[in-house]
Amino acid sequence: MANVTDTHRVAPTKSEKVLAPSEHFIHQSTSAGLIMILFIIIALGWANSPWYKLYEDFLHYPISFGFGSTLVTYGLSHWVNDGLMTIFFFLVGLEIKREFLAGELSNREEAILPIVAAIGGMAAPALVYLCFNLGTPYAKGWAIPTATDIAFAMGALSLLGSRVPLSLKVFLTDLAIAADIGARVIIALFSVGSVPRSPVLRCVTILALLFLGNRLEIRSLLFYGFLSFLLWIFVFQSGIHATLAGVLAAMTVPFKAYISERDFIHVARKSISRYEYANLANGDEYDVVQLPDGSEKIIYHDNAGPYYSLVQPESVSAVQDLQNYCTYVESPLRALERIIHLWVSFLIVPLFTLCNAGIRVDTSTITTALADPVTLGVAFGLVVGKPIGIFTTCFVTSKLGLIRIAKDITWTHLFGAGCLAGIGFTMSLFVANLAFGNLAHRLNDAKIGILTGSFFAVCIGLFILMNTKKAKE
């Protein structure tokens, strides 16, 4: 019989280890952004069609939720904004934690650039908004243009393909994540009011249990899922915006896997060897075929010809062990990120878009809105404030020697990315609901400003980046 020879894989470089997860995340965000654009079109078309009443009925369709004698009934849009979006912010929390523990934000030098850019990209739009609304009751909407929608921005950036360097895409991703941290702080500030003591105590208790589970190295997804659900209920009861529960719960999910990568390789090889020799135990013969790339392929055969078998009990046991080891090597954080991402990208965010982007637009509405300080503050904050804030803070801190810009990123690239960061769609709509939820007219003005500002941010950002040459290596 032929002997089995080991095949060797070239170890990935340090840059490949860093960029591969980022590239995967970028591709997922790109798809989500394109789907979001589709649902914006659907929402706007439906809201301005003869079936507008059906759209309103859809938004306010009553859904009841509760246990026993406690029953709560709200419209569909309310459950989407306060319920399903909690899962969205749970994912945001997981991404933030991952970036700080193992991503580019884990390295102090590499983290400074997106953090500095995010600070400038939040402060400048807020100041622009206040220039239009300072001293008015609507100044509380200052946080609306500070947000960045990562999925929408990456979807727009994907239209340029290889015209922009990957490092710029990674920068924009980390910038949006850093901005999400600030957005969560803002949302928490908006949510805090007169908070009942009892639900808060329950929230603290659940959080303590989650952190204790983390310290005890509990890896059960069911454990974190169930307690996170309880946390959401108690936060909802407290009067604080329920989505805050998503981020708080995400911070407790363990990042460390049950076994290390080195241990996984060791036990995986043992399982594969068990599988191999279990099939050879019955006297099965095999041939070793040399492939064009120099590797070898083992083909087992009997009188009937080549076959692949999984009939021996020991074979089944080896495969089951290998499946378990694959679970053990993936941390709960990464597992939840992987499971939730598709649901968020292709169901929750599109549904949120459908519920919040449907604005009735006519000539009088547009004329009034374009002269309204809320609309102008939001739109100019996104289109003007974002790129100026990001570019200025990066330029000044770079000249002071506090940050480093990647060699393949030019200042024009950076300004173009700053323009795309002006796409505040999802987060901006969310903050607008918090700021003007009880003022339907002002909320509508804010939404027009968000859509208008995001549209021009896309057009200007893409135009700049399309006409920007890559930096010479």
Q: What angle do CA 256, 93, 153 make, to 5 degrees?
A: 120
Low-confidence residues of the chain, pLDDT below 70? 1-33, 66-70, 103-110, 184, 187-197, 239-240, 276-291, 293-316, 325, 363, 365, 470-473
Name the region of 132 (left: φ>0; alpha: ψ -120 to 50; beta: rest).
Answer: alpha
pLDDT at position 28 is 56
Task: Say what the pLDDT of residue 226 is.
Answer: 92
Structural domain boundaries in the chain: 19-227+234-247+337-466, 261-328
pLDDT of residue 120: 92
Q: Whole-prediction pTM value?
A: 0.69
Nearest-angstrom CA–CA distance, 319 and 325: 10
Tell me which DSSP letter residue 49 carries.
Answer: S
- Report pLDDT for 439: 79
Q: In what order do the strands lie in the sheet with 285-290?
A: 285-290, 296-302, 305-306
Amino acid 346: pLDDT: 84
Closest CA to 74 of 63, 59, 85: 63
- Residue indicated by tokens 């008015």: 136
Can you tell me the distance from the alpha carbon of 180 to that of 94, in angstroms, rounded to the nearest whole number? 12
CA 17 to chain centre: 20
Cβ neighbours, 10 Å, residue 131: 14
> What is d(CA 283, CA 297) in angstroms, rounded to the nearest whole number?
19
Contact 216, 258 (CB under 8 A): no
Q: Which pair of structure tokens corresponds to residue 118?
A: 């995010």
Pairing of strands 296-302, 70-75: unpaired
Distances (CA, A) of 263 to 259, 325, 328, 339: 6, 9, 10, 24
The yes/no answer on whether domain 19-227+234-247+337-466 falls in CATH 3.40.50.1950 is: no
Environment class of 178 (CB within 10 Å of its CB; exposed 0-12, middle 13-18, buried 19+): buried
What residue type is 245 in one-letter code? A
Token duo for residue 327? 């679970």
